[in-house]
Amino acid sequence: MSEILTQGKPFNEEIWSAAECLSRDEIQALQLTRLRETVARVKDVPLYKDFFQREKISPESIRTLDDIRRLPFTTKAQLRENYPLNYLTVPREKLVRVHGSSGTHGKPTFVGYTREDIYRWADLCARFLYAGMCRAEHLVQVSFGYGLFTGGFGLHYGIERIGASILPAASGNTPRQIMLLQDLKADGLIATPSYALNIAEVVCEMGIKPSELPLKYAHFGAEAWTEEMRVKIEDQLGIKAYNNYGLSEILGPGVSGECRFQNGMHIQEDEFFVECLNPETLEPVAPGESGELVITNLNKEAMSLLRYRTRDIAVMDDSPCPCGRTTRRMGRVMGRSDDMLVIRGVNVFPTQVEEAILKVEGVTPHFLMEVTRPKTQDELTVYVEIQPDFFSDKMSEMENLRSKILHEIHVITGLRVNLVIKEPKSLERFTGKAKRVIDKRDLHKIN
Ligand code: DLL
């Protein structure tokens, strides 16, 4: 493997800028070399072997990066067919770790890592954490679950790689999380945005002011969230909140992350080739249009996926970033195409509902969407919680609030929905990824 193994060297600007400040020509040359190596590495994997033989794909046949379009796509269903790990590119005994993605379909999808993969993963997480202000002198509380989920361990080793201290709190027991944050004076927090919201709510209930919390920043990922949610959490915890993205099949966290300018997530292009495609035609979308992210591993030893269809919908951004990194950026993931609801022909993502309700004063970010089909038409019911001081006995006040919420949802989604206003603290709180949709239609979900 062509590798700049930086393990053992202190993590500093020299290390990250060597990978993140290359010229476009340099990045593309590196990607092409690594794409050819990847093709060589996966040629005997059952997922690709027949296709390669039939289409005469070899490392030499990949002449330019555009030739990636000759390579096959990979889907989650194919990984399931090759359960548990029939897509490794190294003998099983070379693995030092196995993680798994939380499958909604029963069994997880497993992912293997060699020792080099683990080192490189730590570097990748360290890079985006550093871009988002994490430094060696900090203490960072990791409130992600540690386990098959890649979030806890992925971020853990990234923080350690920077030389900062970790408080591996894991998720749950929110009052204790707050005690740890306060007593140990954590500078940074790692969590899902919905868990951070949960923490912020308990902070408020405990009568602690944002200024009394030592926290300076947080890195949130693993689920979709909106700019409105960022503003809310930053305000409530008195921090800067940075977004980071990844998925287990490809690595885990570390595919991309925001720098201090918070204007999109820098893609770690030396390790991943990211395409943004129209999910129907599988052709590249026009610049500025949203599409499905399709990711190819360029440098993973234990397993490398070609053109993995993430189902995540986002927009690519090629504009320069004032931080000096030259890597392409991706906007927020609006949601997964399989989370997208189609209600009476209109596409709706939970993030659109989040964006809409947070525009209305007095509404909390806790909501739930329920889809039913009472007769022949789909109905969407949105449950929202409102803040205690906005809950009123006066019909007219409640009606006024209702019509504002319905209006915002209509403006953003184009849909007329049923709205149920819930009392404060009546909807479920989450410690990991939030579940915002209950689909009660009797349909089989296609993946
Ligand atoms: O969630 C990896 C991760 C952990 C990323 C911690 C960031 C931080 P999975 O459990 O396999 O892996 O879920 C991957 O989560 O396809 C997206 O749909 C979603 N996702 C991850 N990060 C973001 C994000 C981890 N920043 C799936 N914004 C992905 C929106 C995200 N969605």
- Residues 119-130 have a mean pLDDT of 97
- Residues 192-220 have a mean pLDDT of 96
Span 417-426, pLDDT tens digits: 999 999 999 9
104 pLDDT tier (thresholds 50, 70, 90): low
**Binding site membership of 256 for ligand 1 (Cβ less than 6 Å):** no
Among 104, 153, 312, the mutation site with the greatest number of ligand 1 atoms within 8 A of its Cβ is: 312
Nearest Cα to Cα of residue 282 among 7, 72, 60, 28: 72
Q: Alpha-carbon distance 394 to 396, whole Å?
A: 6
> Is pLDDT larger for residue 104 or for residue 226?
226
- Residues 334-359 have a mean pLDDT of 94
Q: With 50 as the cut, is the pLDDT of residue 445 above it?
A: no
Q: Alpha-carbon distance 157 to 312, whole Å?
A: 25
Nearest Cα to Cα of residue 337 among 355, 310, 356: 310
Q: With 50 as the cut, is the pLDDT of residue 93 above it?
A: yes
103 pLDDT tier (thresholds 50, 70, 90): low
Q: According to the model, what pLDDT value does residue 444 have?
A: 47
Report the nearest atom of ligand 1 relative to the CA of 224.
30
Contact by Cβ (8 Å): 409, 417 = yes
Pull the structure tokens for residue 364: 């909390």
Q: According to the model, what pLDDT value does residue 2 have?
A: 44
Q: Alpha-carbon distance 194 to 173, whole Å?
A: 15
Q: With 80 as the cut, is the pLDDT of residue 106 above it?
A: no
**Binding site membership of 150 for ligand 1 (Cβ less than 6 Å):** yes
Strands, E assignment, 331-394:
335-336, 341-343, 346-348, 363-372, 379-386
Among 75, 125, 245, 290, the mutation site with the greatest number of ligand 1 atoms within 8 A of its Cβ is: 245
**Residue nearest atom 31 of ligand 1, based on CA coordinates:** 223
Q: According to the model, what pLDDT value does residue 337 have?
A: 87
Q: According to the model, what pLDDT value does residue 4 have?
A: 52
Strand partners, 420: 383
Mean pLDDT of the chain: 95
> Is pLDDT larger for residue 12 or for residue 91?
91
Q: Alpha-carbon distance 217 to 132, whole Å?
A: 8
Written in H, E and C, the secondary structure of 221-281 is ECCCCCHHHHHHHHHHHCCEEEEEEEECCCCEEEEEEECCCCCCEEECCCCEEEEEECCCC
Q: According to the model, what pLDDT value does residue 167 have?
A: 98
Q: H or E stretch including 110?
A: strand 109-114
- Residues 95-106 have a mean pLDDT of 84
Q: Taking each helix axis as running N to C, give the angle between helix 115-131 and helix 13-20, from 0 to 180 degrees, rounded to the nearest 10.
A: 100
For the beta carbon of residue 158, count every other beta carbon within 10 angstroms.
31
Q: How far is the CA of 153 from the centre of ligand 1 (A)?
A: 14
Q: How far is the CA of 361 from the centre of ligand 1 (A)?
A: 29
Q: According to the model, what pLDDT value does residue 443 have?
A: 60
- Residues 230-241 have a mean pLDDT of 97
Nearest Cα to Cα of residue 298 among 118, 39, 67: 39
Q: With 50 as the cut, is the pLDDT of residue 447 above it?
A: no
**Binding site membership of 193 for ligand 1 (Cβ less than 6 Å):** no
Q: According to the model, what pLDDT value does residue 315 have?
A: 98
Q: Alpha-carbon distance 427 to 424, whole Å?
A: 8
Q: According to the model, what pLDDT value does residue 338 have?
A: 82
